């Protein structure tokens, strides 16, 4: 990782100052969907994230990808990634992402890898590594999913993935050399 990138990420990842005021944390989210008008659903979700306080948002290009580990006959997915800075806790961001999925039409109770209009995964939350029953950051499949690595490397190539000790660009290279 370049020193300038490390300084920017460190500056964006300051958690709480002495007055108790929460500052911004650098985040990377992965978006996916294969039901309905997925690009429009992504745009609405990104607008809602911005309305909820996410700043400095950068969005990758949208990619059509074959379904991975889905039921046979599943439609292709559209995938993207966004990066930005978030003003609150990982749990608050997770709750917002889950609400956006529900608002887009994803059933609250759904099978793993089932077709969906919107899926939002938190890939990076600053330098945090979190392992809770309802939240794992970085996402456990980050290094194994081309549909996550390509868009993330497009918008945050030099971002170091905590626990994997590689940047998105390096993980993409490793994936492609398997």
Contact predicate 80/103, CB 8 Å:
no
Q: What is the DSSP string of 78-146?
A: EEEEEEEEESS-HHHHHHHHHHHHHHTT--SS--TT---S-EEEEEEETT--EEETTEEES-TTGGG-H
- 83 in catalytic set: no
Catalytically annotated residue among 37, 103, 119, 145 = 119
- 121 in catalytic set: yes
State the CB neighbour count (10 A cutoff) for residue 143. Answer: 19
Catalytically annotated residue among 88, 103, 116, 145 = 116
Catalytically annotated residue among 47, 69, 88, 106 = 106
Quote the tokens at residue 2: 């370049």
- 106 in catalytic set: yes
Q: Active-site positions? A: 106, 116, 119, 121
């Amino acid at each position: 990782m370049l020193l300038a990138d490390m300084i920017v990420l460190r500056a964006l990842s300051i958690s709480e100052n002495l007055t108790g005021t929460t500052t911004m944390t650098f985040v990377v989210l992965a978006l996916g969907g294969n039901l309905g008008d997925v690009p429009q659903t992504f745009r609405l979700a990104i607008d809602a994230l911005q309305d909820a306080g996410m700043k400095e948002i950068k969005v990758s290009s949208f990619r059509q990808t074959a379904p991975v580990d889905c039921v046979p006959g599943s439609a292709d997915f559209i995938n993207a990634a966004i990066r930005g800075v978030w003003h609150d806790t990982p749990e608050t961001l997770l709750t917002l992402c889950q609400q956006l999925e529900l608002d887009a039409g994803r059933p609250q109770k759904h099978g793993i890898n089932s077709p969906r209009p919107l899926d939002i995964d938190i890939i990076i939350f600053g330098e945090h590594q979190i392992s809770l029953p309802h939240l794992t950051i970085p996402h456990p499949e980050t290094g194994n999913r081309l549909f996550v690595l390509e868009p993330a490397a497009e918008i945050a190539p030099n971002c170091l993935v905590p626990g994997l000790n590689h940047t998105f660009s390096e993980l993409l290279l490793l994936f492609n050399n398997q």
